[in-house]
Amino acid sequence: MKCDICGKNSAKVRRLTQPVGRDSSSFLVRNVPVVSCLSCGESYLTAETLKELERMRLHWRELTKQEKVPVATFVGAA
């Protein structure tokens, strides 16, 4: 896949979990396609993905379900 940043054909799509929203309306979206380039090291979301995430943010109450998620705090060197 061609990278939109450097133009080289070394970009791959990875599926990640992405946080969306803030405060009491924040939630996680699983399986978000993120483009990552092996040449320049950049990662980015396409316009289509950003539009879908915005749609999900606007309708989060209908689209989300409650799940228990274990949380850890990073304590290593910054």
Q: Where exactly are the structural domains of the chain? A: 11-63
pLDDT tens track for 7-65? 999 999 999 999 998 888 899 999 999 999 999 999 999 999 999 999 999 999 999 99
Distance CA 63, CA 51 (A): 15
Question: Which residues is 24 bridged to in the sheet?
Answer: none
pLDDT of 78: 67
* Cβ–Cβ under 8 Å, residues 44 and 50: no
Classify 11-63 by CATH class: alpha beta
Check residue 51 and give its pLDDT. 97
